[in-house]
Chains A and B, each alone.
Chain A
Amino acid sequence: MISDTLLPLVAAFPFEWTYVRSIIEVSLYVSLTAVFLSTIVSVPIALLVGFRDFRGKNFLTSIITTGMGFPSVVVGLVVLFAVSNEGPLGSFDLVFTTEAMILSQIVLAVPVITGVSLAAVSSVEQQVRDAAFAMGGTRYDVALVTIKEARYGLATAVLAGFGRAISEVGGVLIVGGNIAGADGESVTRTLTTAIQLEARQGRFETAMILGAILVALVLLVNAIVVRLGDDGGGYR
């Protein structure tokens, strides 16, 4: 039944494959880079906030929680200002580039990855951390044990960040400009902005197929991350 519906759509697919491939490449490049950099920032913050007591901890936690639901359009607007000629990053000439899009997605993904990671590391029992310390573990050893124990939660955090990044449209549309080059390949056009463009122009079938590709990519990345998180249960 599904094949009866989808096959004619695929057969009538109006784009060049190189164009679609370039959109997928830009989408994955922007979102995976943003999530990778966000994870490097977010996990240490989660460990720090989860383990240490310091002044302003509750305030920082509430900022992280608020950031998890921050509107992507507003983030795009702020990043656009930051990279514009009048902004602090104006000298880097980043307007309508993939780098600006990465920056926008980092701002969106960091609170999500930090928030979910914080919940994951906080759920690791104090006794387990105590055991690592009692055996002569340094603070890095204890942190590694915690990361290892919280690996499923951390994998969920990365997936949530990736989902937030690759599915958002407002931010990348504003800072990236949804540009395709004269050669027909994407410059800053992602799957979400392409879907938005196709739908607006009334090409719903094309938008649907791009949507299906987007969902398939998310499922694929989810499967890979879940597989990596389930490594047989050894400490590292």
Chain B
Amino acid sequence: MSLDVPPGEIVAIIGPSGVGKTTLLRLLAMFERPLGGSLEYGGTDVWDASEQRRLEYRRDIGMVFQEASLFDANVRRNAEYGLHIRRSWRDRLRREFADLLGLRNGTSPAMEALEVVGLEEKLEQHAESLSGGEAQRVAFARALAYEPDFLLLDEPTSDLDPRNTAVIEEAVREAGDRGIGVAIATHDMNQAERIADRVAVILGDGIIEVGETETIFEDPSDQRTQKFIDGELIY
């Protein structure tokens, strides 16, 4: 399969459950080494590169999972985590002491990311006290805060109510406007139609079709795509 996600473009990956959307995103996020084929970044096979170089590649990517998976900490600390681990150990300790002494103030990219998802008022609230929708919005802000080049979203709104879904979708659009390339796996056709610039259809034998959103939904070139959209393709 072949899929490219240019800067600023939102690509929806649609397909039935269990077809491999999550596996594809995990491969792109370098969780696992592919059993066959290659994953290239800037023309370099990431699995031939050194661990340090692969870490640099990974740090260009943000990922949001189906479940929020927040850390046992408050909203601010969750949102800052990506920035935190990019700092030197000395800087991390210095900031910890500043936190302990209450000396930190001012805005940070993490706070700006929380503003994007409308949770800037809940900075000091513990993650456990958030609703499912709020937790997922924090997870999105956490991935956005360190300004990655790419965002991988694995069905981020499948468990959310319409209001929280709308907030996340708006944040996805804003990420695209900022020049971040977004790949979002979803089984929600309407969502793909609402937010994606392009759509990739993945079935049992890989990505069968990639095209402009309008084209995929109104005039797909592969009959299986039409059947899947019409709900006739059962897996």
Identify the A interface with B (CB < 8 A). 125, 127-128, 130-138, 141, 145, 148-149, 233-236
List chain A residues, Cβ under 8 A from B31: 130, 133-134
Contacts A130-B69, A138-B85, A233-B77 given; 11 further ones with Cβ under 8 A? A131-B63, A131-B69, A131-B70, A131-B142, A134-B29, A134-B63, A136-B86, A148-B72, A148-B73, A149-B72, A235-B84
B71 x A128 contact (CB < 8 A): yes
- A139–B139 Cα distance when bound, in Å, is 21
- A133–B31 Cα distance when bound, in Å, is 8
B58-99: which have CB < 8 Å to A?
Answer: 58-59, 61-63, 65, 67, 69-74, 77, 81-82, 84-86, 96, 99
A135 x B146 contact (CB < 8 A): yes
- A199–B109 Cα distance when bound, in Å, is 66
List chain A residues, Cβ under 8 A from B81: 132, 135, 235
Identify the B interface with A (CB < 8 A). 29, 31, 55, 58-59, 61-63, 65, 67, 69-74, 77, 81-82, 84-86, 96, 99, 126, 139, 142-143, 146, 152
- A181–B205 Cα distance when bound, in Å, is 81
B85 x A130 contact (CB < 8 A): no
The smallest C-beta distance from A209 to any residue of chain B, in angstroms, reads 41
List chain B residues, Cβ under 8 A from A236: 96
B143 x A135 contact (CB < 8 A): yes
Q: At the interface, is chain A mostly helix, strand, loop or mixed?
A: helix
- A141–B85 Cα distance when bound, in Å, is 7
Closest to A231 in B: B100
Taking A127-B65, A130-B65, A135-B143 as contacts, is the C-beta distance between A233 and B82 under 8 angstroms? Answer: no
Closest to A125 in B: B69
The smallest C-beta distance from A167 to any residue of chain B, in angstroms, reads 31
List chain A residues, Cβ under 8 A from B74: 233-234
List chain B residues, Cβ under 8 A from A235: 71, 73, 77, 81, 84
List chain A residues, Cβ under 8 A from B85: 132, 135-138, 141
B62 x A135 contact (CB < 8 A): yes
A136 x B139 contact (CB < 8 A): no
The smallest C-beta distance from B95 to any residue of chain A, in angstroms, reads 11
Taking A137-B85, A234-B74 as contacts, is the C-beta distance between A128 and B69 under 8 angstroms? Answer: yes
B65 x A234 contact (CB < 8 A): no
List chain B residues, Cβ under 8 A from A135: 62-63, 81-82, 85, 142-143, 146
- A132–B81 Cα distance when bound, in Å, is 8
List chain A residues, Cβ under 8 A from B73: 148, 233-235
List chain A residues, Cβ under 8 A from B99: 234
Closest to B84 in A: A235
- A130–B84 Cα distance when bound, in Å, is 16
List chain B residues, Cβ under 8 A from A128: 69-71
The smallest C-beta distance from A112 to any residue of chain B, in angstroms, reads 24
Which 8 pairs between the two chains have the least Cβ-Cβ distance? A136-B59, A127-B69, A134-B63, A135-B82, A131-B69, A141-B85, A233-B73, A136-B58
- A133–B32 Cα distance when bound, in Å, is 12
- A135–B110 Cα distance when bound, in Å, is 13
The smallest C-beta distance from B27 to any residue of chain A, in angstroms, reads 13
